[in-house]
Amino acid sequence: MEESKTTAEKRLDGYVALYKAQMEHFRKTVELEWRVTFAAWTLLGVLIYAAAEKSIHFPRLAWVVFVLPLLHVGWLCLIHASEDVDKSLWVSYRRKVLDLLGHPVSEHLDSWTKRPWWKRFAWISLETGVTLLLSFVACKTLAEGT
């Protein structure tokens, strides 16, 4: 009997460790998402400033204004997919822990982790919207400088 308890404790410790690792991975993924997003916005802000100061001209950097939003949207779609995988894994680990502890598993408990498509779309659209707005201002400022 003592052996099965030890095995159960090891399984519990293993799932708790996996849960914590997945939560940490999620935290780092979100941090990376925002670092890249702020870097894109900063680059566009620098372009706007430089164009307003007439230190750069449209033809040389026009590609950045058009390519950066496309890259940013692709990046956001991939990073949000990664975040959804992280969430589904930590939910499964939490369910295993609750099961091992003898607690009933409730669908309601984990319903907040399942984002509907429109919430994901809204979040990506919000971030992309800022990028597009900055790109539009950069394009307009660069065009005025020519």
Residue 1 pLDDT > 50: no
Read off the pLDDT band of 52 (50, 70, 90).
confident
Residue 38 pLDDT > 60: yes
Q: Provide the pLDDT for residue 57.
A: 67
Q: What does the pLDDT average to over 53-81?
A: 85
Tokens of 27: 């935290």
Q: Between residues 38 and 60, which one has the greater pLDDT?
A: 38
pLDDT digits (tens, 9 = 90+) for 18-37: 999 999 999 999 999 999 99
**Nearest CA-CA partner of 100 in 14, 18, 3, 1:** 14
- Interhelix angle for 117-144 vs 58-101, to 10°? 160
Q: Provide the pLDDT for residue 59.
A: 67
pLDDT digits (tens, 9 = 90+) for 69-127: 999 999 999 999 999 899 889 888 988 888 888 887 666 656 656 677 788 789 899 99
Task: Give the domain ranges of the chain.
Answer: 2-144
Read off the pLDDT band of 144 (50, 70, 90).
confident
Structural contact between residues 9 and 97, judged by C-beta atoms closer than 8 angstroms: no
Token match 């590609």: residue?
63
